[in-house]
Amino acid sequence: MTSFTTCFTVDQTPEAAFCAINNVRGWWSKAIDGPTDTAGGTFDYHFQDIHRCKIQVSELIPGKRIVWHVLDNYFSFTEDETEWTGTTIVFTISRTGGGTEVRFTHEGLVPEYECYDACSDGWSTYISGSLRALIETGKGDPNLGDPMTGTERALAG
């Protein structure tokens, strides 16, 4: 089974990418409660009545790697409401000849999951769009509670 992965390269330092990733409210959602930049800390995410999850920051290696573990999850649009529970989200940061590569992998988010299309669409928008913009320009496009992606609009419908 292949987990969802996406990556991009930016003309910024690994340290700048690391700081931006930890600013989860600056690229994913303003609806985050709890610390996102403290190893061992937990934070809660929610999007309307469609998605809620509790995430533990399990690893922070400055300029190199961030790992989150999904402790609990709820989807209103899947038969198995807990599909993300027990999965791991990994950000790997590395210096390349052309800048800094940010590789995002949601280990356990696989095509067999009912949420795969919606979730991979969402992650693609937030990672390759909003997070990349935050790293490059200092301004991301986080979710403010309204649907951003086509999938979110359809689910909120």
**H or E element in which residue 64 lies:** none
Q: According to the model, what pLDDT value does residue 143 have?
A: 86
Task: Give per-residue pLDDT as tens, 47-66.
Answer: 888 899 999 999 999 999 99
Q: Minimal CA–CA distance to 66: which of 15, 32, 119, 110?
A: 15
Q: Could you report the per-residue pLDDT of 58-114, keeping only the tens digit for each?
A: 999 999 999 999 999 999 999 998 999 999 999 999 999 889 999 999 999 999 999
Closest to 55 in 3D by CA, of 73, 69, 65: 69
Return the H-helix or E-strand segment holding 150: helix 150-156
CA atoms within a 13 Å half-sphere pointing along the CA-CB vector of 95: 5
pTM of the model: 0.91
Strand order in the sheet with 42-47: 4-10, 99-107, 88-96, 65-75, 51-61, 42-47, 32-33
| Cβ atoms of 68 and 89 closer than 8 Å | yes
**Partners of 106 in beta bridges:** 4, 89
